[in-house]
Amino acid sequence: MTKGTVSGVVSNMVTLRVDGPVLQGEICYIETAGDRLMAEVIKVIGQDVYVQVFESTRGLKVGSSAEFTGHMLEIQLGPGMLSKNYDGLQNDLDKMEGVFLKRGQYTEPLDAERLWDFKPLAKVGDKVRESDWLGQVEENHQPLKIMVPFQLKGEATVKIIVPEGQYKIHDVVAVLEDERGNEISVDMVQHWPVKFAMTNYAEKPRPFKLLETGVRTIDTFNPIVEGGTGFIPGPFGTGKTVLQHAISKQAEADIVIIAACGERANEVVEIFTEFPELVDPHTGRKLMERTIIIANTSNMPVAAREASVYTAMTMAEYYRSMGLRVLLMADSTSRWAQALREMSNRMEELPGPDAFPMDLGALISNFYGRAGYVKLRNGKVGSVTFLGTVSPAGGNLKEPVTENTKKVARCFYGLEQDRADKKRYPAVNPIDSYSKYLEYPEFAEYMKEHINENWIPKVLKLKTRMQRGKEIAEQINILGDDGVPVEYHVTFWKSEVIDFVILQQDAFDEVDAVTPLERQEELLDLVTTICESEGRKFETFEQVVDYYKKLINICKQMNYSEYKSEQYYDYKKQVEAYL
Amino acid sequence: MATAFQKVYTQISQITKATCSLKAKGVGYDELAVINGKLAQVVKIMGEDVTLQVFEGTGGIPTNAEVVFLGKAPSLKVSEQLAGRFFNAYGNPIDGGPEIEGREVEIGGPSVNPVRRKQPSELIATGIAGIDLNNTLVSGQKIPFFADPDQPFNEVMALVALRAKADKIILGGMGMTNDDYYFFRNTFSNAGALDRIIAFMNTTEDPAVERLLVPDMALAAAEYFAVEKKEKVLVLLTDMTSYADSLSIVSNRMDQIPSKDSMPGSLYSDLAKIYEKAVQFPESVGGGSITIIAVTTLSGGDITHAVPDNTGYITEGQLFLRRDSDIGKVIVDPFRSLSRLKQLVAGKKTRKDHAQVMNAAIRLYADAANAKTKLENGFDLTDYDTRCLDFARDYADKLLAIDVNLNTEEMLDETWKLLSRYFRLEEVNIKKEFTDIYWQQQSNS
């Protein structure tokens, strides 16, 4: 393997003089004071190789030796990843020693000694290609497929496949013979370079199936679909993380991967603490069983932060190729972009807008492009749904990360300071936010068949009402309460009903936190009825305000009541009687 | 200064306002050096060319200055002796007392493994309703005051520190005026708390770049007491905007491309490294904690500036002070203030109705703000508007003002009293289970 010697250090960018060939993106280890520091090649000029070190370079000296590994940054994929807490480089955080993260400490991501119940799916003589399913093991009550190595070229024949039984991850479970007659031993572990997208599927059609999140402002107003993409920009304090956590708790997905990318450690601790206790509303098992956490918090090394989102995406693609529905959340993609900026700056590259690297847009769109709904070659389907948060500098959406993300993500959930200030949570702006999927005929068809024929038309009508309500609010602001006809107040207050009853949701209330689709359907019908009913004859606008405030209060109490409980029906009847 | 085995370099090849460069071998990154008695740190190595950042500035350094490398990163000697002492940015005593004896630790050390943290859950009571009621603080939290330079943030911070029942209070002063330094000293001394105080001071009289060491010094001391002595430590950092200004000076002199507001592109990471030292340790590691309360001064209340903006994304909320002209007092602004950890204690460590009462009051306070705009624009007010305005005045005076000192229970009762006085049941939108207990029937006057 190629070796190198340190010739320069500026923060976490190190220059090495090398004695042989290196790959762009290759991983090497630099020796210093007994520690081995992992680093990645980012630029090569002749014999000088620039690497970004994933650790603190304190004390590193010129002349220290480095050893190259011959491969890019890659992760191990196999059974045992679920419920784990990893850092951005897939080190198992629970296996790390001590209270503080020690420099140069790398731990095994998978447990080599654990036994798994293996069931063969292929048989001897089968012709297989890369990623085809050879067998499966149960991982936290979900089938995990053992697949033909992703690197296999062409077709291979199954020579040996072990019978049902207990095996460890590095036990050979199958032997294949490739087209040239080479024998390939297959164990349960795959390796994949994180920066490359997995394309082991037959096709990637437009997504169309609703992904239920239990958050009304999303499901009812701007739905996201299995394999869809969305982003949540918002100034600090508007509830990005609360919204993301709510979605990750409730969404109807088989696997949830949370990449805490350059964010607060206490937010990750919240997940560590709560998820093992909370129950998945769809399967009744513990949430942690379906979750993987990639924690690269803001105080952990910057270069590993950049890697963390790729690590998370690669894991998501791995589970997708088993025909599972994966939900990937990254909080926040802006921190990832900032990590790119710090490095670009140290490399003295010419900066793009706001000092971000020029290829920021391309990197963001390639990353979002890795999500999607796919048909596998065996006819099964799988999906990676990706939701990223964006933390725009100064809350201004005209900044490079937001603008570039807007070009690629299909759903936009804009969080608004004004709504947050008024405690109208979730602070998703109902008028600027959108879901492109509402315009997909495939999606409309799906909703018609599976949910309700009138769902989308009703939603669109409510959206128009929100728009109208906003316009009237502005008019009232200028002309005064008495300056507009009483009917205007009625229209405005109807939009307030939509806001208070459907859009606002209390993420910290046990009942209101999650609304199953069926309940959302009932609520949509009820609010539509309210909006379309004549109401009473009002003489003054004060009567309008009074009337609708009382109505909103009853609806709120209904939202706080257990679904289908006596109390729930009681409040529902009160609403109907009130009309 | 050089010992027998240390090589002395005497040829400086380049001097800028903040840095010196020379040819040297065997130098480690981040290592300290002494140039003619001035402390400096290695910031760049390219082959044999080593660039040093001189904390005091390079004025008076000759091209033939003596340079000695110390073979270690900036460090602090830690032991129980730190308690009650005042230091400069290098960790040397400035109170006339003896040098500290103890174990030497490098400052700016590694971060806590997230899985070794505990979710914060201990309420810090300050008696100030604008904080305890609306923005409850929790031990292990990191939160700044966002304030204009003329606001009494240091006074409020000292008050919070003294009421917080911390085992140690560590003050990191950056670009602090001499007057404020004496204010803190006298306040803590008058309260009889001096033995719990440790201070690292960089005043406006000291070189600006030196203050880059202050937060790391303060936090190294904090980690010693929180980890080894299992104590509850409160760290006060004022003013982090001065710290950021020093960062931009250094990055500018290193020819780095500035990003927003002339700040270095790494500002977020630089600030996060400091704030993320706030931690609650689980019982298995002794149960100690580090809570950070900082000050970020704003220019003209602009929170979109890079420093408050990045800070807001890192810290667990922020506290805003504002002068309320209606009551003539400084209040904790309920709209822009936020404690992200409050839901960990509100309604759990406090009475169950806490969250709902808090939200209802703030919502109605927002309605009052709308009514005020209406009034200013010359429109007629409705009965509801007038009631909102009356409520807002009482709410600000009896609860939001910083001179309030109540326990949480009293704050909640007071809020219920005001809600019942000015509003009707259906106007407050609070769950029935709470209004059944706490709603006080009164005639609306």
Structural domain boundaries of chain B? 8-69, 76-106+139-315, 354-438
Residue B100, Cα to own-chain centre: how many angstroms?
Answer: 26
| pLDDT tens, position by position, B194-206 | 999 999 999 999 9
Which run of H or E residues covers position B111?
A: none
Which of A58, A63, A341 is closest, CB to CB, to B30?
A58
**CA–CA separation, B382 vs A542, rounded Å?**
8
Structural domain boundaries of chain A? 3-72, 80-93+200-266+297-435, 116-188, 455-578
Min mean pLDDT across A274-283, A327-336, B346-355, B407-416 is at A274-283
Question: Is residue A238 scored above 50 in pLDDT?
Answer: yes
Q: What's the CA angle centered on A244, arms A241 and A245, to 5 degrees?
A: 85
DSSP string for residues in A113-176: S--EEEEE-S-TT-EE-TT-EEEEEEETTEEEEEE--TT--S-EEEEEEPPSEEE-TTS--EEE
pLDDT band at residue B259 using 50, 70 and 90 as cut-offs: confident
Question: Is residue B157 scored above 60 in pLDDT?
Answer: yes
| pLDDT tens, position by position, A123-144 | 999 999 999 999 999 999 999 9
User: Across the strands, what pairs with B69?
Assistant: B33
**CA–CA separation, B358 vs B351, rounded Å?**
12
| Helix, strand, coil distribution of chain B in percent, nearest 5 | 35, 25, 40
Average the pLDDT over A433-445 and give the result. 96
Q: Is A42 exposed, middle or buried (0-12, 13-18, 19+ CB in 10 A)?
A: middle
Assigned CATH for B76-106+139-315: 3.40.50.12240
**CA–CA separation, A399 vs A405, rounded Å?**
10
pLDDT at A310: 97
pLDDT band at residue B4 using 50, 70 and 90 as cut-offs: low
What are the chain B neighbours of A236 within 8 Å (beta carbons)? Answer: 309, 312-313
What are the chain B neighbours of A345 within 8 Å (beta carbons)? Answer: 256-257, 265-266
pLDDT band at residue B442 using 50, 70 and 90 as cut-offs: low
Average the pLDDT over A411-435 and give the result. 92
The CA dihedral of A425, A426, A431, A436, to the nearest 10 degrees, is -170
User: Across the strands, what pairs with B32?
Assistant: B41
pLDDT at B1: 46
Assigned CATH for A116-188: 2.40.50.100
Averaged pLDDT score across all residues of chain A: 94
- CATH ID of A3-72, from 2.40.160.10, 2.170.130.10, 3.40.50.300, 2.40.10.170: 2.40.10.170
pLDDT at B114: 94
- CATH ID of A455-578, from 1.10.10.10, 1.10.287.110, 1.10.1140.10, 1.20.1070.10: 1.10.1140.10
Cβ contact A102–B110 (<8 Å): yes
- Restricting to A residues 502-531, those with a Cβ less than 8 Å away from any Cβ of B are 508
pLDDT at B443: 42
Question: Is residue B374 scored above 70 in pLDDT?
Answer: yes
Phi/psi region, residue A16 (left: phi>0; alpha: psi -120 to 50; beta: rest), is: beta
Same fold, B8-69 and B76-106+139-315: no
- Restricting to A residues 101-140, those with a Cβ less than 8 Å away from any Cβ of B are 101-103
Q: Which fold has domain A80-93+200-266+297-435?
A: Rossmann fold (3.40.50)
**Which residue out of A60, A99, A294, A418 would a mutagenesis test of the B interface target, given it has the greatest number of B Cβ atoms within 10 Å?**
A99
Q: Which fold has domain B8-69?
A: Elongation Factor Tu (Ef-tu); domain 3 (2.40.30)
pLDDT at B89: 95
| pLDDT tens, position by position, B332-359 | 999 889 999 998 999 999 999 999 999 8
What are the chain A neighbours of B113 within 8 Å (beta carbons)? Answer: 93, 96, 98-101
Handedness of CA A35, A40, A45, A46 (dihedral sign): positive
pLDDT at B426: 85
Per DSSP, helices labelled H in A423-485 are 441-450, 455-479
User: Any residues with CB less than 8 A from the CB of A225 and at least 6 apart, and which?
Assistant: A207, A208, A209, A210, A211, A373, A385, A437, A440, A443
| pLDDT tens, position by position, A502-517 | 999 998 888 999 999 9
pLDDT at A348: 83
DSSP string for residues in B363-404: HHHHHHHHHHHHHHTTPPPPHHHHHHHHHHHHHIIIIIBTT-
Q: Does A59 touch chain B (CB under 8 A)?
A: yes
A498 close to A462: Cβ distance less than 8 angstroms: yes
Average the pLDDT over A488-499 and give the result. 96
A69 close to A4: Cβ distance less than 8 angstroms: no
**CA–CA separation, B102 vs B75, rounded Å?**
12
Tell me the backbone φ, ψ of residue B152, rounded to 5 degrees.
-80, 50
Query: Chain B closest CA to A378's CA: distance in Å?
Result: 40
pLDDT at A30: 97
Cβ contact A99–B118 (<8 Å): no
Handedness of CA A415, A421, A425, A429 (dihedral sign): negative
Average the pLDDT over B372-396 and give the result. 92
A473-506 as b/e: b if 16+ CB within 10 A: eeebeeeebeebebebbbbbbbbbbbbbbbbbbb
Q: Which residue in chain B is spatially nearest to A561 when comparing CA positions?
A: B431
Question: Is residue B251 scored above 90 in pLDDT?
Answer: no
- Of A335, A360, A372, the C-alpha closest to A260 is A335
pLDDT band at residue B445 using 50, 70 and 90 as cut-offs: very low
| pLDDT tens, position by position, B290-349 | 999 999 999 888 888 999 999 998 999 999 998 998 899 999 999 889 999 998 999 999
Distances in Å between the Cα of B196 and the Cα atoms of A320, B75, B99, B123, B189 are 56, 22, 18, 20, 10
Question: Is residue B444 scored above 50 in pLDDT?
Answer: no
pLDDT at A413: 97
Q: Is the pTM of this model over 0.90?
A: yes
A59 close to A53: Cβ distance less than 8 angstroms: no
Q: Which residue in chain B is spatially nearest to A346 when comparing CA positions?
A: B256
Question: Is residue B441 scored above 70 in pLDDT?
Answer: no
**CA–CA separation, B268 vs A392, rounded Å?**
13
B109 close to B220: Cβ distance less than 8 angstroms: yes
**CA–CA separation, B352 vs A274, rounded Å?**
20
| pLDDT tens, position by position, B48-107 | 999 999 998 899 999 999 999 999 999 999 999 999 999 999 999 999 999 999 999 999
Which of B304, B310, B366 is closest, CB to CB, to A422?
B366
pLDDT band at residue A282 using 50, 70 and 90 as cut-offs: confident
ipTM of the prediction greater than 0.90, yes or no: no
